[in-house]
Amino acid sequence: MTDNQNVLKFVNDSAALVQPRRIVWITGEEDQLEALRKEALATGELIKLNEDLLPGCYLHRSATNDVARVEGRTFICCKNKDDAGPINNWMDPQEAYEKVGAIFEGSMKGKTMYVIPYSMGAVGSKFSKIGIEITDSIYVVVSMAIMTRIGNKVLDTLGDSNDFVRGLHAKADLDAEKRYILHFPEDNTIWSVNSGYGGNVLLGKKCFALRIASYLGKNEGWMAEHMLILGVENPEGEIKYVAAAFPSACGKTNLAMLIPPEIYKQKGYKVWCVGDDIAWIRVGADGRLWAINPENGFFGVAPGTNMKSNPNALLSTKKNAIFTNVVHNLDNNTVWWEGMDKNPPTNALDWKGNRWTADCGEKGAHPNSRFTAPAINCPCISSEFEAPDGVPLSAIIFGGRRAKTAPLVYEARDWNSGVFIGSAMASETTAAATGAVGVVRRDPMAMRPFVGYNMADYFAHWIEMGTKISNQPKIFNVNWFRTDDNGNFIWPGYGDNLRVLEWILARCENKVDAVETPIGYVPVPEDINIEGLDDVTVDTIKELLTVDPENWKEEVKGIEEFYAQFGDRLPKELSEKLAELKARLN
Ligand code: GTP
Ligand code: SPV
Ligand code: MN
Residues near ligand 1 (Cβ within 6 A): 246, 248-254, 276-277, 300-301, 303-304, 309, 432, 480-481, 489, 493-494, 497
Ligand nearest to the CA of 427: 1
Give the other-Cβ count within 10 Å of 134's Cβ.
Answer: 24
| 277 alpha carbon – ligand 3 mean position (Å) | 5
What percent of the chain shows pLDDT beyond 70? 100
Phi and psi at 191, nearest 5°, equal -125, 130
| Mean of the per-residue pLDDT values of the chain | 97
Q: How far apart are CA 530 and CA 122, in angstroms?
A: 39
Q: Which helix (H) or strand (E) holds 156?
A: helix 152-158
Using the predicted structure, report yes or no on whether residue 124 has a pLDDT greater than 90. no
Atom number of ligand 2 nearest to Cα 301: 5
| 58 alpha carbon – ligand 2 mean position (Å) | 20
546-565 mean pLDDT: 97
250 classed as catalytic: yes
Q: Report the nearest-CA residue for atom 5 of ligand 1.
A: 249
Q: Report the nearest-CA residue for atom 1 of ligand 2.
A: 248
pLDDT digits (tens, 9 = 90+) for 478-502: 999 999 999 999 999 999 999 999 9
- The residues that bridge with 300 in the sheet, in sequence order, are 371
Whole-number pLDDT of residue 1? 82
Using the predicted structure, report yes or no on whether residue 561 has a pLDDT greater than 90. yes
Give the HSE-up count for residue 108: Cα atoms under 13 Å, Cβ half-sphere.
25
Q: Report the nearest-CA residue for atom 7 of ligand 2.
A: 199
| 277 alpha carbon – ligand 2 mean position (Å) | 8
Confidence of residue 195 (pLDDT cuts 50, 70, 90): very high
Whole-number pLDDT of residue 267? 97
Whole-number pLDDT of residue 382? 98
Please give the span between the terminal C-alpha atoms of the chain, in angstroms, as a whole number: 66
Confirm or reject: Cβ of 432 under 6 Å from ligand 2: yes
The three-class DSSP label of residue 34 is helix
Which residues have their alpha-adjacent CB atom under 5 A from ion ligand 3?
A: 248, 277
Active-site entry in 77, 207, 250, 380: 250
Q: Is the dihedral of CA 38, 39, 42, 47 positive or negative?
A: negative
Give the HSE-up count for residue 246: Cα atoms under 13 Å, Cβ half-sphere.
25
Whole-number pLDDT of residue 517? 98
Using the predicted structure, report yes or no on whether residue 508 has a pLDDT greater than 90. yes
DSSP assignment of 294-337 equals --SEEEEE-TT--TTT-HHHHHHTSSS-EEES-EEETTTTEEE-
Helices marked H in 44-92 = 81-84
pLDDT digits (tens, 9 = 90+) for 139-166: 999 999 999 999 999 999 999 999 999 9
Phi and psi at 283, nearest 5°, equal -85, 125
Whole-number pLDDT of residue 198? 94
What percent of the chain shows pLDDT beyond 90? 99
Whole-number pLDDT of residue 343? 96
Ligand nearest to the CA of 275: 1
Using the predicted structure, report yes or no on whether residue 311 has a pLDDT greater than 90. yes
394-406 mean pLDDT: 96
Cα–Cα nearest to 240, from 395, 389, 387:
395
CB 159 within 8 A of CB 90: no
| 248 alpha carbon – ligand 1 mean position (Å) | 8
| 476 alpha carbon – ligand 3 mean position (Å) | 19
123-150 mean pLDDT: 97
Confirm or reject: Cβ of 448 under 6 Å from ligand 2: no
| 431 alpha carbon – ligand 2 mean position (Å) | 10
Q: Which of 148, 205, 293, 427 to mutate to test the pocket of ligand 2 (most atoms within 8 A of CB)?
A: 205
Q: Report the nearest-CA residue for atom 8 of ligand 2.
A: 199
Whole-number pLDDT of residue 429? 94
What b/e readout covers 21-57, taking b as 16+ CB neighbours within 10 angstroms? eeebbbbbeeebbeebbeebeeeebbbebeeeebeeb
pLDDT digits (tens, 9 = 90+) for 199-243: 999 999 999 999 999 999 999 999 999 999 999 999 999 999 999
Q: Which amino acid is at 547?
A: V
